Chains A and B, each alone.
Chain A
Amino acid sequence: MAPRIATSAADAVAGIHDGATVLIGGFGNAGQPMELIDALLDGGATDLTVVNNNAGQADAGLALLIKERRVAKVICSFPRQSDSWHFDEAYRAGEIELELVPQGNLAERIRAAGAGIGGFFTPTGYGTLLAEGKETRVIDGRGYVLETPIHGDVALIKALRADTAGNLVYRKTARNFGPIMAAAARQAIVQVDEVVPLGGIDPEVVVTPGLYVDTVLPLPATTEGAAA
């Protein structure tokens, strides 16, 4: 089924309920679906579990969701940054739970969810604090840690372009978590600079096939050079 084309960011995120697990794409500002996050903030859903590489920066997006105490738990690899003051405050006050995951394990756990994998043994983190309490196994002389998939109720991601079938292409390093989060969530909501007709994207360059995409929000191109 072709994805729904949302009329506004508020419309796109309207179905996100309290207690939802929300996968949010982006690495730094690249690929961050800022308008969708802002709409989630305006929408009022609370007690969220958020999966992102970081835990919010400065006074925008995810940082504001945390400031408003709408996030009960963050699953991320790198929460501590020079401008992560809202997370720092909530964490030190004991008002947010943190699950710290090595970045590659985070990515693979998200990928595993989309691929129907029940768990996998990874060498990353073996013998470290982040493997404490986890099942381990030595395979061919090397130590591995059992990691489990991270499923999302919803994914909020940003792509460059969609066609009306929901096929997506991304732009440069803004791709980051987009394709794996789209597959790992029951509902993938994607903001794009433009929606083109069927046939407007060469099938050979599609990165995320439309079957993963549920809602598309076209926004005027805000990315410099995005038309190139």
Chain B
Amino acid sequence: MNPSPQTTTDAPVHHASTAAPLDRDALARLVAADIPAGSFVNLGIGQPTNVSNHLTSEQDVTLHTENGMLGMGPVATGEDVDEDLINAGKIPVTELPGASYFHHADSFAMMRGGHLDVCVLGAFQVSAAGDLANWHTGAPGAIPAVGGAMDLAIGAKATWVMMGLFTKDGASKLVEALSYPVTGLGCVSRIYTESAVFLLEGGRVVVRSTHGTTFEELAERLPVQLHRG
């Protein structure tokens, strides 16, 4: 499903609204198309990993995996599986020409130091101010685990979130204030969902495009003030 232009602006075609919601591949394709050529990028575990399947060779994007590698290639299969070559999800991967390896402290320094251009993460909730919750449900008895979530959230020059806009119960995951434990404050600048793409601009929530819904419907349903893109 390719988004078709419905408005006459200077924006790229893929920024246009569509009549239908985005499925997972369409959403991943949209995120991939937004990554600037030549970027160094970290893709979080889960939905964001799918973005790599939609990057083009012309984009010349270099993937970082926080366990210590730049230049990560596709998932390894068959004879290419090597237990010493895995990604942050502990899945066997491959190396591309120009790849490099480094230890954990260097890998996170690279991230924390702002040397990565884009990080794409999943989320439980994002607030209008760009606060992110994605590490812990806070449920009683849950054993907490954080991994690299807090480092990823605040490290890259731009942090984008991919998530469903609503919970199974229909509650908005774009909120005025987080009810889940914080992963990072004020760190998210964009949210990609099946229903809309949001730009978070200093507390303002701008709707860049809608998919299978309208600005008016979202304005009614979401608990945050929306602005037209």
Task: Using CB atoms and an 8 Å cutoff, list the residues of chain A in contact with chain B.
Answer: 27-31, 53, 77-81, 87-88, 91-92, 98, 100-108, 110-111, 122-130, 143, 170-180, 207, 223-226
Contact = CB atoms under 8 A, between A and B. Distances in A.
Given A77-B147, A100-B144, A105-B151, A175 B182 contact: no
A107 B146 CA distance: 14
Interface centre among B84, B87, B104 (most CB of A within 10 A): B104
B107 interface: yes
Most buried by B among A100, A104, A111: A104
A172 B82 contact: yes
A129 B136 contact: yes
Contact of A176 (B82, B104, B111, B154): B104
Given A77-B147, A92-B141, A103-B147, 4 more contacts: A31-B84, A103-B104, A175-B103, A225-B82
B147 to A, nearest CB: 4
Given A30-B83, A143-B185, A223-B84, A103 B146 contact: yes
Nearest to B103: A179
Contacts of B103: 107, 175-180, 207
Contacts of B184: 126-128
B142 to A, nearest CB: 8
Interface residues of B, number: 41
Contacts of A104: 66, 104, 107-109, 111-112, 148, 150-151, 155
B181 interface: yes
B199 interface: no
Contacts of B108: 103-104, 107-108
A104 B183 CA distance: 13
Contacts of A29: 83, 86, 90
Main secondary structure of the interface of B (DSSP, over half): loop
29 contacts: A27-B67, A27-B68, A27-B90, A28-B67, A78-B147, A80-B143, A100-B145, A102-B147, A102-B149, A103-B104, A103-B146, A103-B148, A104-B109, A104-B148, A104-B151, A107-B103, A107-B104, A108-B109, A122-B112, A124-B112, A124-B151, A128-B150, A128-B182, A129-B181, A172-B101, A173-B68, A173-B84, A173-B86, A180-B104
A130 B69 contact: no
A172 B146 contact: no
Contact of B183 (A81, A123, A128, A180): A128
B64 to A, nearest CB: 12
B202 to A, nearest CB: 14
Contacts of B95: 172
Contact of A30 (B84, B111, B144, B181): B84
Interface in B105-153: 105, 107-109, 111-112, 136, 141, 143-151
A76 to B, nearest CB: 9
Contact of A171 (B84, B154, B182): B84
Which of A79, A130, A207: most chain B Cβ within 10 A? A130
B85 interface: yes
Nearest to A57: B90
Given A122-B112, A172-B82, A108 B147 contact: no
Interface string B56-88: 000000000111110000000000001111110
A59 B130 CA distance: 41
Given A124-B154, A173-B65, A108 B102 contact: no
A129 B102 CA distance: 29
Contacts of B65: 173
A225 B95 CA distance: 14
Nearest to A91: B143
Contact of B112 (A100, A123, A143, A174): A123
Given A224-B82, A225-B82, A107 B107 contact: yes
Contacts of A102: 146-151
Contacts of B146: 77-78, 100-103, 130
